């Protein structure tokens, strides 16, 4: 997979924390930055998917189902 280099500026405190974590775990700072970006993007994508889905539902005119009316298939709720 091709990789692209990015340059970011972070404050000294964040850099120190990142450096300490990298040294403690034997991973690189880049590893943790990439992992943090992946998690952030997944969270943002999920948020906007949910936001768009609820907007679409509200615009559809369909009736909502009460939680009491949901068949949970034997699961205790």
Residue 25 or 76, more confident = 25
pTM of the model: 0.74
Contact 19, 29 (CB under 8 A): yes
The pLDDT tens digits for 3-49 are 999 999 999 999 999 999 999 999 999 999 999 999 999 999 999 99
Per-residue pLDDT at 76: 67
Domain positions in the chain: 27-61
Closest by alpha carbon to 36, among 6, 65, 58, 57? 6
Measured from the Cβ of residue 33, the count of other Cβ atoms closer than 10 Å reads 15
Backbone angles phi, psi at 5, to 5 degrees: -90, 140
- Helices of type H across 1-77: 12-25, 29-60
């Amino acid at each position: 997979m091709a990789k692209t280099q990015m340059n970011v500026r972070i404050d000294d405190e964040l850099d120190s924390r990142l450096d300490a974590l990298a040294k403690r775990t034997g991973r690189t700072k880049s590893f943790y930055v990439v992992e943090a970006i992946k998690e952030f993007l997944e969270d943002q994508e999920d948020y906007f998917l949910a936001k768009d889905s609820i907007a679409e539902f509200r615009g559809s005119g369909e009736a909502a189902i009460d939680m009491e009316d949901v068949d949970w298939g034997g699961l205790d709720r």
